[in-house]
Amino acid sequence: MRVVRAAGLPLLTFVLFVGVWEWIVRHFEIPPFLVPAPSAVAGAFVRGFAEANYLGHAATTAFQAVAGFLAGSALGIALGVWVVVFPTAERIVYPYVVALQTVPKVAIAPLMIVWFGFGIESKIIIVALVSLFPVLVNVIAGLKSVDQDRLDLMSALSASRWQVLRYLRFPNALPFIFAGLNTAIVFSVIGAIVGEFVGANRGVGFLILQANFALDIAAAFALFVVLSIMGVTLHAILRWIEGRVVFWAKAEEHFRA
Residues near other proteins, by CB under 8 A: 147, 149-150, 152-159, 163, 167-168, 171, 174, 246-248, 251-252, 254-255
Q: How far is CA 172 from the centre of its chain?
A: 23
Based on CB atoms, which residue is closest to other proteins, 18 or 245? 245
Helix axes 249-256 and 170-198, enclosed angle (nearest 10): 140
- Of the pair 163, 228, the CB lying nearest other proteins is at 163
From the CB of 254, what's the least distance to other proteins, in Å? Answer: 6
Runs of H (alpha helix) within 117-169: 120-144, 148-156, 161-164
Rounded Cα gap, residues 8 and 6, in angstroms: 6
CB of 248 to other proteins, least distance (A): 4
Q: Is 96 or 247 the residue whose CB approaches other proteins more closely?
A: 247
Q: Taking the complex as a whole, how short is the minimal distance between the CB of residue 142 and other proteins, in angstroms?
A: 13
Is the Cβ–Cβ distance between 68 and 128 less than 8 Å? yes
Q: Which of 173, 172, 178 is nearest to 150 (CA)?
A: 172
Min dist CB 153 to other proteins, Å, is: 5
Q: Is 102 or 158 the residue whose CB approaches other proteins more closely?
A: 158
* Closer residue to other proteins, CB minimum distance, 18 or 85: 85
- Count of alpha carbons within 13 Å of 117, Cβ hemisphere only? 4
CB of 176 to other proteins, least distance (A): 13
First to last CA, the chain: 36
Quote the CA–CA distance of 249 and 176 in Å, as a whole number.
10
